[in-house]
């Protein structure tokens, strides 16, 4: 198994990638080496890195002998422009990060403006169910079913996409059997549950009510989520739920993870829930 | 520009046409679905409480709509293995019966319908989360006829998405969503996940959680209707002139599962706003008329219900005659 690690800074990499996970997870993850460093954001365009940060992480990856993979979220027109500018700057100085897209507009941008950048399909392309209440009532996954997602995989392969990435969903067959030639990548141990532009954490740092929720959609973000993640308790869910920025995450039962692993060529490990 | 009204039964059609509905949407579950996919919904809403009961009643709808288009929602965010094939066949049957279009979110189903030659009859659901012009181009290049924009966009963002060659639809009235609906990987079949969200979040201030609870309350129609019988939920009526100017084709009144009374009131007030906008009405003028009809002026003036509160960002729109 090869590994990717989601980083937020350029601190020292572990010699064994599994050590960034909670101890219980190390038992089910096979040994392997880190192949890629993941950075960027999957859920919030406000958190797209600036050029200096992105370049630093590209350099860090290069100096570590690893692939640089930049995560990108669903973006408005403003975010798409910002991403275009960032990629323009990075490629102008010679960096060629692989780019994970979660938005068809970003795929369009990559195809038209940055055909040299390897493109990877992100977890939000897979809209499968990840309801923690259902995870807890349905403790198995039918990983042998491989026809779900076949049309999407075919379209992505024809679009020059090199990898299909997802977190484990309840159906368990989105990554397919690998016959389409795309690398299959799983994210552990946090699945996303729900995400919103009406960010509770942004509201928690807002100066006025007009900067909160619907009224605050157009107002600048205070980046109040940086370095914070919050445990969420619910009486209908016993497993660990977390809020990081604008997104809720759930640490899935390990029995689910084990079955999904059979379909993965790479595992990307997240030290903590990250938007 | 049309008012798009929700339907659950043929018995609702005449009243909604009288209230001002130009086009309709509804949910319908294929015969045999429940036996094969028990507990999974064929569209985003519960079949029993929000869907048309059966094909027989749907045929009555087609007879009674008097030439107006009706669209059928097959818009669950994903489907289990085997379901796409069944829905594609059902969709083809519906189109043959006279349905004007299919509202679809799942990319597998979209691709299957495109391959079958039905691209021009697809409305891309708001659950597909199309929020930029590049994504709109992607769907237009597939050949779809309409893109339904998700709820949580500013007017400026909507204006930046509009491209030629495809129609756009926006939310106008009712039924907010706490999360981005297309990015909510939970199912309403297990109960509404978001209603319990927030209050047990560690490290967030009590004041913020109180504001969050209030905002969620407004999304759920403030738990009531006004004394004049109108729903008191998310509303974009004052933004109609700007949305019209941006090129929006269809204005959606949400709530298939609602009572006929709520649907009728909603369509009537939406039609009023559209009529005023067509005649040169301003956001302020529309707001004044809406308050007169609906009541609850405070909720409007404080922008608590606004789908598009930035309509008031232009100072010239903020004056409200008392």
Nearest Cα to Cα of residue B271 among B246, B289, B295, B297: B289
Mean pLDDT of B71-91: 95
Nearest to A194 among B186, B200, B202 (CB): B186
Per-residue pLDDT reduced to its tens digit, A231-262? 999 999 988 899 999 999 999 888 888 888 98
Which of B83, B132, B159 should be substituted to probe chain A, the one whose Cβ sees the most A Cβ atoms within 10 Å? B132
A142: pLDDT strictly greater than 80:
no
Nearest-angstrom CA–CA distance, B104 and B22: 21
Q: Is B78 in Cβ contact with A128 (below 8 Å)?
A: yes
Nearest-angstrom CA–CA distance, B308 and B151: 9
Nearest Cα to Cα of residue B236 among B147, B296, B176: B176
Shortest CA gap B294–chain A (Å): 22
Q: Is A124 in Cβ contact with B135 (below 8 Å)?
A: no
Shortest CA gap A56–chain B (Å): 28
Residue A140: predicted pLDDT: 59
Per-residue pLDDT reduced to its tens digit, B7-55? 999 999 999 999 999 999 999 999 999 999 988 999 988 898 999 999 9
A138: pLDDT strictly greater than 80:
no
Quick one: what percent of chain A has pLDDT higher than 70?
A: 97
Nearest to B134 among A105, A124, A193 (CB): A105
- Whether A272 has its CB under 8 Å from any CB of chain B: the answer is no
Q: Is B186 in Cβ contact with A131 (below 8 Å)?
A: yes
A219: pLDDT strictly greater than 70:
yes
Taking each helix axis from N to C end, the angle separating B133-142 and A77-92, rounded to the nearest 10 degrees, works out to 100
- Whether A113 has its CB under 8 Å from any CB of chain B: the answer is no
Residue A256: predicted pLDDT: 83
Per-residue pLDDT reduced to its tens digit, A158-170? 999 999 999 999 8
Residue A17 in tokens:
């990638």
Q: How many CB pairs under 8 A join A and B?
A: 194
Nearest-angstrom CA–CA distance, A53 and A50: 6
Q: Is A197 in Cβ contact with B180 (below 8 Å)?
A: yes
A192: pLDDT strictly greater than 90:
yes
Q: Is A196 in Cβ contact with B132 (below 8 Å)?
A: no
């Amino acid at each position: 198994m090869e590994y990717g690690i989601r980083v937020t800074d350029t601190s020292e990499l572990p010699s064994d990638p599994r050590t960034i996970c909670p101890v219980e997870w190390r038992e089910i993850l096979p040994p392997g080496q880190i192949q890629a460093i993941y950075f960027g954001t999957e859920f919030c365009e406000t958190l797209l890195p600036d050029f200096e940060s992105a370049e630093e992480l590209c350099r860090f990856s290069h100096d570590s002998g690893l692939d640089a993979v930049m995560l990108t979220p669903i973006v408005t027109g403003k975010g798409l422009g910002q991403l275009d500018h960032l990629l323009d700057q990075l490629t102008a100085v010679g960096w060629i990060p692989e780019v994970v897209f979660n938005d068809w507009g970003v795929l369009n941008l990559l195809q038209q403006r940055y055909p040299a950048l390897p493109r990877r399909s992100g977890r939000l392309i897979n809209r499968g169910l990840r309801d923690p209440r259902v995870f807890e009532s349905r403790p198995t996954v039918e990983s042998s079913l491989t026809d779900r997602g076949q049309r999407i995989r075919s379209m992505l392969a024809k679009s020059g996409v090199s990898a299909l990435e997802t977190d484990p969903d309840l159906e368990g067959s989105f990554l397919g059997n690998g016959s389409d030639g795309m690398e299959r990548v799983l994210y552990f141990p946090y699945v996303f549950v729900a995400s919103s532009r009406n960010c509770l954490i942004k509201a928690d740092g807002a100066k006025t009510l007009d900067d909160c929720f619907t009224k605050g959609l157009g107002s600048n973000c205070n980046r109040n989520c940086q370095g914070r993640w919050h445990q969420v308790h619910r009486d209908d869910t016993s497993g660990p739920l977390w809020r990081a920025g604008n997104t809720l995450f759930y640490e899935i039962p390990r029995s689910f993870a084990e079955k999904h692993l059979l379909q993965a060529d790479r595992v990307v490990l997240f030290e903590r829930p990250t938007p | 520009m049309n008012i798009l009204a929700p339907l659950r039964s043929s018995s609702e059609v005449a009243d909604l046409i009288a209230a001002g509905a130009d086009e309709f949407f509804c949910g319908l579950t294929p015969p045999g679905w429940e036996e094969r996919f028990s507990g999974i919904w064929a569209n985003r809403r519960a079949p029993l409480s929000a869907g048309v009961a059966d094909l027989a009643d749907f045929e009555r709808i087609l007879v009674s709509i008097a030439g107006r288009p009706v669209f059928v929602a097959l818009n669950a965010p994903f489907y289990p293995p085997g379901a796409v094939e069944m829905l594609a066949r059902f969709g083809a049957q519906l189109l043959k019966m006279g349905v004007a279009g299919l509202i679809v979110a799942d990319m597998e189903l979209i691709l299957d319908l495109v391959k079958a030659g039905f691209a021009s009859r697809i409305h891309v659901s708001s659950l597909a989360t199309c929020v930029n012009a590049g994504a709109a181009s992607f769907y237009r290049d597939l050949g779809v006829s309409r893109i339904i924009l998700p709820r949580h966009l500013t007017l400026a963002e909507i204006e930046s998405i509009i491209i030629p060659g495809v129609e756009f639809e926006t939310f106008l009235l009712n039924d907010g969503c706490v999360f981005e609906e297309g990015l909510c990987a939970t199912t309403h079949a297990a109960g509404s996940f978001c209603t319990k969200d927030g209050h047990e979040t560690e490290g967030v201030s009590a004041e913020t959680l109180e504001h969050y609870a209030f905002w969620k309350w407004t999304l759920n129609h403030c738990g009531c209707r006004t004394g004049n019988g109108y729903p008191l939920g998310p509303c974009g009526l004052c933004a109609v002139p700007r949305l019209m100017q941006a090129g929006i084709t269809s204005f959606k009144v949400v709530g298939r599962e609602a009572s006929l009374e709520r649907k009728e009131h909603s369509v009537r007030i939406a039609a009023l706003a559209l009529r005023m906008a067509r005649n040169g009405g301003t956001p302020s003028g529309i707001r004044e008329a809406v308050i007169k009809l609906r009541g609850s002026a405070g909720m409007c003036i404080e922008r608590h219900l606004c789908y598009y509160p930035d309509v008031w960002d232009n100072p010239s729109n903020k004056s409200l005659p008392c």
